[in-house]
């Protein structure tokens, strides 16, 4: 399956990104639920009044009949700006048998296609290592039409996963120069110490982005016996070495550590209303897009 695969693209045509809180400045085609009158025209539902809500949207009839303060909520259709952050650190390159980075780029391309097919705007930001005199990211211009989609694979092909993971530095540098927030989809393996991913994700939230985290893990990372039984492990980012024999007990210890790490990330995202999805390279990309990400709430059928 490739991005040029028409059958695959046809399946993507049925999908759109589920947006919850993001707002767009321009009218568009993405329905944004639970918005006030200023943003939407199509009545959607009621919500309980909370202090600060605009009185203009109080349903006075309901107040009269039920003696209850409720606010009318509308669905708006806006054009959303999507920021697809792709981690290009060296950890995305290994284990080589899993082809994590090609998998992640396919994911980015598929999401880009979905976004552009829904007439939304898109920028792809490759998070790179900060170098002197250069920005710690590579970003495409904003693409607004699905005809621009075919520029995206060319951009992705130029990316090489090298260096350490600099999520915080790269994301901060990017949002400092971007005035318009939107939906931020961060695609990474998140195999770093929790503070290193928590800070940039919170930063995005604080700047008003609707944040979605997609964790890409290799099949050999989930089941390391596929990679080795015993040997000298080498950390491609930190350059550390460790001699490991993968006994049953050691395997359990590893999987417990992995589970704890994923659980911590998941709980952090849940706590801060960040959508979290974990995908494995073991699954075919088409299944990840149509099933895993849909089930996780990142995508939805139109």
Q: Which residues bind other proteins (CB under 8 A)?
A: 91-99, 102-103, 189, 191-193, 218, 221, 227-238, 240-245, 250, 253-254, 256-258, 261, 281
- What's the rounded Cα separation, in Å, for the pair 40 and 48? 18
The CB-of-265 to other proteins minimum distance in angstroms stands at: 12
Pick between residue 120 and residue 189 the one whose CB is nearest to other proteins.
Answer: 189
CA R_g for the chain: 21
The CB-of-163 to other proteins minimum distance in angstroms stands at: 13
The CB-of-245 to other proteins minimum distance in angstroms stands at: 5
Pick between residue 77 and residue 282 the one whose CB is nearest to other proteins.
Answer: 282
The CB-of-251 to other proteins minimum distance in angstroms stands at: 9
Confirm if 73 and 34 have CB atoms less than 8 A apart: yes
The CB-of-152 to other proteins minimum distance in angstroms stands at: 21
Q: Extract long-range pairs of 264-271: CB within 8 Å, 24+ residues apart.
A: 264/194, 265/190, 265/194, 265/197, 265/213, 265/215, 268/194, 268/197, 268/198, 268/201, 269/201, 269/213
Q: What b/e sequence results for 140-158 when a residue is b if at least 16 CB atoms lie within 10 Å of its CB, and e otherwise?
A: bebbbebeebeebbebbee
The CB-of-42 to other proteins minimum distance in angstroms stands at: 44
Confirm if 136 and 177 have CB atoms less than 8 A apart: no
The CB-of-271 to other proteins minimum distance in angstroms stands at: 21
Pick between residue 74 and residue 103 the one whose CB is nearest to other proteins.
Answer: 103
Pick between residue 26 and residue 259 the one whose CB is nearest to other proteins.
Answer: 259
Pick between residue 80 and residue 217 the one whose CB is nearest to other proteins.
Answer: 217
CB contact set of 241 (below 8 Å; sequence gap of 6+): 232, 233, 234, 235
Q: Which residues does residue 243 pair with via DSSP β-bridges, in sequence order?
A: 232
193: number of Cβ within 10 Å: 9
Pick between residue 65 and residue 242 the one whose CB is nearest to other proteins.
Answer: 242
Pick between residue 91 and residue 121 the one whose CB is nearest to other proteins.
Answer: 91
């Amino acid at each position: 399956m490739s991005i040029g695969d028409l059958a695959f693209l046809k399946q993507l045509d049925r999908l759109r990104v589920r947006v919850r809180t993001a707002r767009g400045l321009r009218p568009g085609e993405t329905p944004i639920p639970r918005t006030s009158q200023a943003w939407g025209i199509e009545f959607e539902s009621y919500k309980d009044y909370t202090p600060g809500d605009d009185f203009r949207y109080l349903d006075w009839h309901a107040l009269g009949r039920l003696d209850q303060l409720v606010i009318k909520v509308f669905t708006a259709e806006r054009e959303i700006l999507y920021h697809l952050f792709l981690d290009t650190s060296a950890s995305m390159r290994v284990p080589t048998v899993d082809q994590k980075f090609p998998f992640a780029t396919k994911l980015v391309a598929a999401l880009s296609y979905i976004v552009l097919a829904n007439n939304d705007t898109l920028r792809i930001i490759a998070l790179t290592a900060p170098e002197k005199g250069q920005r710690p990211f590579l970003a495409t211009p904003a693409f607004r039409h699905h005809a621009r989609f075919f520029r995206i694979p060319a951009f992705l092909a130029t990316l090489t996963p090298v260096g350490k993971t600099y999520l915080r530095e790269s994301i901060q540098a990017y949002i400092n120069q971007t005035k318009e927030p939107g939906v931020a989809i961060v695609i990474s393996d998140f195999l770093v110490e929790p503070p290193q991913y928590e800070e940039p994700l919170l930063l995005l939230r604080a700047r008003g982005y609707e944040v979605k985290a997609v964790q890409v893990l290799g099949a050999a990372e989930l089941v390391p016996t596929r990679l080795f039984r015993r040997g000298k492990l080498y950390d491609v980012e930190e350059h550390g070495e460790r001699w490991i024999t993968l006994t049953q007990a050691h395997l359990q210890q590893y999987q417990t550590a992995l589970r704890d790490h994923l659980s911590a990330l998941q709980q952090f995202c849940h706590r801060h209303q960040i959508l979290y999805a974990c995908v494995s390279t073991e699954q075919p990309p088409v299944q990840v897009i149509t099933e895993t990400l849909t089930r996780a709430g990142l995508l939805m059928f139109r």
